[in-house]
Amino acid sequence: MGTTLKKGAGKYIVFALLYLGWCVSYIDRAAISFAMAAIAKDFSLDPKAMGVVLSTFFIGYSLMQIPGGWLADRFGSKKVIIIAIFFWSVFTMITGLAWSLASLIVIRFVFGLGEGIFPPASLKGVAENFSKIERPKMTSALLSSNYIGSAIAPMIVAPLILYAGWRHMFFAIGIAGIVFVAIYWFMVRSNKQEHSIEGQEKAAKEKVDTKTLLKMPLMWQLVITWFGLSLVNKGLDSWMPTYLLTVRHMNLKAVGMALPFPFIAAGIATAIGGWVMVRFFDGKEKYLLVISATMTAVFLYLMAHAATITSVIAFQCLVYFFKSFVLATTMALPMKMFPGRVVGSAAGMINFGGQSAGFVSPLIIGLLISAFGGSYDAAFWFLIGAACLSVVTSLTIRRTNKITTMVED
């Protein structure tokens, strides 16, 4: 089928499938957060143990970010994406077979290894199919799928848990992932036009490789900036269902209906983030990062002190909206600056920072909740401090148009 597609239409079909792949990955990933209360009851887990389970996935996930980017740069995106989705779908199903805390930890770690190679490979897929000038907006549009998938997840996962149980829920969404693998395999061909696109980028191609990226201060500044906001991102993603159930006394059905709204707000911000960056902050991307991270901290504070459930969800929407501009900018900026042959490695490097936070944040929040007798106050202050870390780091970034000139000269 792939050989009959027109060149212009074909790249957008690939984009649509990559978008759907991200949605599948976030549904699979979010499932554990919604199942955690039921799993904790079955296995008699306290908040510390729950934090370990939620964090374990991110160890494997973060470890595979840079290798996943290198593999995609070396072998192309299609092979890496197929392997990633098949692998994590199998271990999604195996999660439903967990019999103890130890088995659950091992399964989630291996599941993370499978999902970890997908993000940089998907962004490599964007570079293979789109010109350098198109990549920032297409990157941020693709990353908006994170939040669309997260918005869809409660509507799929919560009913499955209620009517089939958490084990059968994992079986069902794992099978759906394997079906998607087959669709992707038959509809996407290995891209042959990357070399022609690269030919348009000769000036940049000669000067940048993976070793160069690892030595660039800008890359590490972006890593730390996204690490700080990912502490917020992963902390709220992992603990908000439990917080709403136990502190705000909502039922699972109500949580499933309320939680999509923040993810929709995040999806909108991420989708337009690349365009906003290029249109209004060209060479001054640091200011977009500073403003967004600052507003994230402000609305986190208001969220922690909200008097009503409606206010909690409203402020969470604003937190997710502003922190998603940071995601869009940190990922779109390398796509704007660097040649396609290294964007997989660049994306993997930045996402390594973000996913490392995925291990740290749920675990620390679990420890803080236990230490303060079930109170989430200290956890919210931890998240506010994480947003402030991103503000401070963003302020150290130089004007990126000067860096781009140095790279392309």
> What single letter denotes the amino acid at residue 370?
S
Surface-to-core class of residue 38, CB atoms within 10 Å of its CB (0-12 exposed, 13-18 middle, 19+ buried): middle
Confidence of residue 406 (pLDDT cuts 50, 70, 90): very low
pLDDT digits (tens, 9 = 90+) for 331-389: 888 877 777 677 777 878 887 887 788 778 888 888 898 888 888 889 999 999 999 99
pLDDT cut 90: percent of the chain above it: 24
Average pLDDT over residues 108-114: 90
Q: Are 19 and 72 spatial neighbours (Cβ–Cβ below 8 Å)? A: no
Task: Please check the confidence at residue 99 and state whether its pLDDT lies above 50.
Answer: yes
Of 278 and 169, the structure prediction assigns the larger pLDDT to: 169
Confidence of residue 6 (pLDDT cuts 50, 70, 90): very low
Q: Are 319 and 303 spatial neighbours (Cβ–Cβ below 8 Å)? A: yes
pTM: 0.71
Nearest-5° Cα angle at 357, 353 to 363:
160
d(CA 288, CA 362): 27
CA dihedral 116, 118, 120, 122 (to 10 degrees): -170
Task: Please check the confidence at residue 200 and state whether its pLDDT lies above 50.
Answer: no
Q: Are 49 and 350 spatial neighbours (Cβ–Cβ below 8 Å)? A: no
Residue 250 has a pLDDT of: 80
Average pLDDT over residues 5-21: 79
CB atoms within 10 A of CB 176: 15
Residue 379 has a pLDDT of: 92
Sign of the dihedral defined by the CA atoms of residues 256, 261, 262, 264, in that order:
positive
Lowest-confidence region among 193-197, 297-301, 305-309: 193-197
Q: How many domains does the chain have?
A: 1
Task: Please check the confidence at residue 36 and state whether its pLDDT lies above 90.
Answer: no
Highest mean pLDDT among 135-144, 248-257, 319-328: 319-328
Task: Please check the confidence at residue 58 and state whether its pLDDT lies above 80.
Answer: no
Residue 194 sits in which domain range? 2-408
- What DSSP assignment string belongs to 124-142? HHHHHHS-TTTHHHHHHHH
Task: Please check the confidence at residue 407 and state whether its pLDDT lies above 70.
Answer: no
- What DSSP assignment string belongs to 240-252? HHHHHHHTS---H
Which pair of tokens denotes residue 102?
A: 């130890």
d(CA 201, CA 258): 46
Average pLDDT over residues 113-137: 85
Contacts of 93 (CB under 8 A, 6+ apart): 170, 171, 174, 175
Confidence of residue 193 (pLDDT cuts 50, 70, 90): very low
Which pair of tokens denotes residue 320?
A: 């997710």
Mean pLDDT of the chain: 82
CATH number where 109 lies: 1.20.1250.20
Average pLDDT over residues 317-324: 93
